Structure 1
Amino acid sequence: MTVSLSHVHVLVDDPDAALSFYRDVLGLEVRNEVANDGYRWITLVTPSQPEIEIVLSQPQAGRSPEDGAALAAMLAKGELPGVLFRADDLDSTFERVRASGAAEILQEPTDQFWGVRDAAFRDPAGNMLRVSQA
């Protein structure tokens, strides 16, 4: 039996801002975009791992108003789990993110004591993203 990762969901409050960031700044490719019941989700992939899809969706989509509001509040506080990416050129990726002005920089590229070189920032919705050197 084989189990593999297929999708990762990232909640966003503004799909257009998120799409612009993940596509135009990080270089992900749009695989699918679907509108449903007043909301939409956008599926993106990285060129190096097209089998793993990153799904941008709104907290209220497909949830009760109470649950959607609770998730939106957690998103606004930056309390949702982050996403970790790997780049073949961390410094170049970091500079592209910084130059975009679309992300809050949390940590410049740093050599960590556990052997990884990485950087951290918040996407336009407040999700923490870390990028490590491949």
Structure 2
Amino acid sequence: MALGTTGCTCKCTCQPKLDDRPAWLYRAYTDGGDLLYIGITVDPKLRMRQHYKSTVGRRWVSITRTVVFELYEDRRTAHILEQRAITQESPSHNGISDPRLLEFVGPLAGALKTTTNHYGKLSW
């Protein structure tokens, strides 16, 4: 069974809410170390494929050589950290979508896991 599934196929309360699932915060870099994009996902491989297939995403995916993924306990935490990182780090290919998240005050859990993937040329 996949992470976060109970085996139930109905849309009842036994299914986890999206925000309850672990989520990855990722940063994409050029071979020179320039930050291109920051995003979050619950499925890194699927999300990279989606970027690659989109016209806008392909612009930065085509020059990405390193992607650093950090796993967080829930999507809410990852989303707040994503918005803060976009504001503070100014990646060249995205903007902040919800400035209200920058005002959140409270404890945020650290990354559960960090992994770095190096690529020659991405072909999702």
Q: TM-score, normalised by structure 2?
A: 0.29
Give the structure with the larger strand fraction: 1
Comparing both chains, which one has the higher relative contact order based on Cα–Cα distances under 8 Å and sequence gaps of 6 or more? 2
Q: TM-score, normalised by structure 1?
A: 0.28
Give the structure with the larger helix fraction: 2
